[in-house]
Amino acid sequence: MAKKTSVSPLAPAAFPALQPVEGVRFATVAAGVRYRGRDDVMLAQLDPGTVLAGVFTTSSTRAAPVLDCEEKIGGASEAGAVILVNSGNANAFTGGRGREAVSAITDAAARACDVPHARVFTSSTGVIGEPLPFDRITAHLDTLAKALSPDGIAAAARAIMTTDTFAKGAGATVDLGGKTVTISGIAKGSGMIAPDMATMLVYIFTDARIGQADLQDMVSRQNARTFNCITVDGDTSTSDTMLVAATGASGVDVTGDAGFEAALHKVMLDLAHQVVRDGEGATKFVEIRVSGAVNDKDARRHALSIANSPLVKTAIAGEDPNWGRVVMAVGKSGAEADRDQLSIRFGDVPVAEKGWVSPDYDEAAAARHMKEQSIFITVDIGLGEGAATVWTCDLTHGYIDINADYRS
């Protein structure tokens, strides 16, 4: 089991005060799936009429609960829905027993909460390859259903943590036509998205009214600009799941509303950044902006090549303005680049221009920027209009400490 004892130096000061979302109630319990002395199961019950959209890992070895959610997510129902999440065991790579566990938990949740099977969405996060002791979860479902409360979201954020060093939450409100629409979300994930214990799970709730297909479009579009733009180590979990639930209780229709979509974007980006800020061993939060690529897709390839390069990430850990490694990462990305058109800045400091060290390069100023906690690397490819921004963290001894430990 990965150990992680102290809170990330990049953590926010406190868990935010999230607004309750009408039509959503939470309960948590210490079911003892694996951890002792802490809640490890959270139940969210969603009122009848709630619409759900989702995004899931594209891993070809994805876990049983993910496959089950994928099948159900497109469905619509006037009935209520529930989300049930356990930490401690990912129910991944568990063969036929994985499906049996999902089925047993879904049965129990549907019965306890009086919703159809097709409206029960489950996630599991923790060790992989061990059978999920699902009876420990099903035994608590009646208790959970009775304990539901509109104010339980902070406890829910804590119950889904694994190697996270802090609970993650973000919220927004939007005024639309004289009424207020609320968005409140939670996430877990630390380091990327490792199958061991660091899967990313995201649950966002809103009282907005919107159709399933419209919500899915919005969520997919904003996912591409937020969670799909973060990387800690380039590794991808078998269990990553994001669910967005819209209860409609505000009575405000947000179909095609730019203001609502902007607020949703803000909540998703905030949660995504918090996952990076809890990156295993992270000491620096890094924003990489690429412009001037032939197209946006190429810009993203360059940005991710920089963000995932061990040599770039260790240079940042060492507070070294090593732009040669950025050049290397652009060169290996596979996307189009011309060495003699490339310009690079660290913070506000131009380090390279048109393929060579900047004539005004001030190494002391670049070195000062590298000592900051938030690092900005800007690369202009100089070929076109394509742009992308991604976020990552540095690669430190802390990452090795956490991940080279023997599983106990």
241-269 burial string, b = 16+ CB within 10 Å, else e? bbbbbbbbbbebbbeebeebbebbbbbbb
In whole angstroms, give the CA distance from residue 240 to residue 252: 30
Mark residues 337-366: x for contact with a second copy by CB under 8 A, - for none: xxxx-x---------x-xxxx---------
Give the number of other Cβ atoms within 10 Å of residue 153's Cβ. Answer: 26
Strands (E), 59-143: 81-89, 120-127
User: Dihedral angle at the C-alpha atoms of 402, 155, 22, 169, nearest 10 degrees?
Assistant: -30
Quickly list DSSP for 216-283: HHHHHHHHHHTGGGB-SSS---S--EEEEEE--TT--B-TT-HHHHHHHHHHHHHHHHHHHHT-TT--
Smallest separation (angstroms) from a second copy to the CB of 131? 9
Q: Which is nearer to a second copy, 8 or 308 (CB)?
A: 308
Q: Which of 199, 247, 283, 392 is catalytic?
A: 199
In whole angstroms, give the CA distance from residue 402 to residue 379: 31
Instruction: Please indicate whether residue 378 is annotated as part of the active site.
Output: no
Among 308, 343, 378, 392, binds a second copy (CB under 8 A): 308
285 lies in the site for a second copy, by CB under 8 A:
no
The pair of structure tokens assigned to 180 is 């207020």
| Spatial contact of 288 and 374, defined as CB atoms under 8 Å apart | no
Site residues (CB under 8 A) for a second copy, limited to 321-340: 322-325, 327-333, 335-340
Smallest separation (angstroms) from a second copy to the CB of 124? 13
Q: Which is nearer to a second copy, 77 or 403 (CB)?
A: 403
Among 169, 189, 191, 292, binds a second copy (CB under 8 A): 191
The stretch near a second copy (CB under 8 A) out of 6-14, 92-100, 163-171, 204-212 is 92-100
317 lies in the site for a second copy, by CB under 8 A:
yes
Site residues (CB under 8 A) for a second copy, limited to 8-47: none
Residues identified as active-site: 199
Judged by the rule CB under 8 A, the positions of this chain that interact with a second copy are 57, 59-62, 92-95, 97, 127-130, 191-192, 194-196, 233-238, 308-311, 314-315, 317-320, 322-325, 327-333, 335-340, 342, 352, 354-357, 395-397, 399-400, 403-407
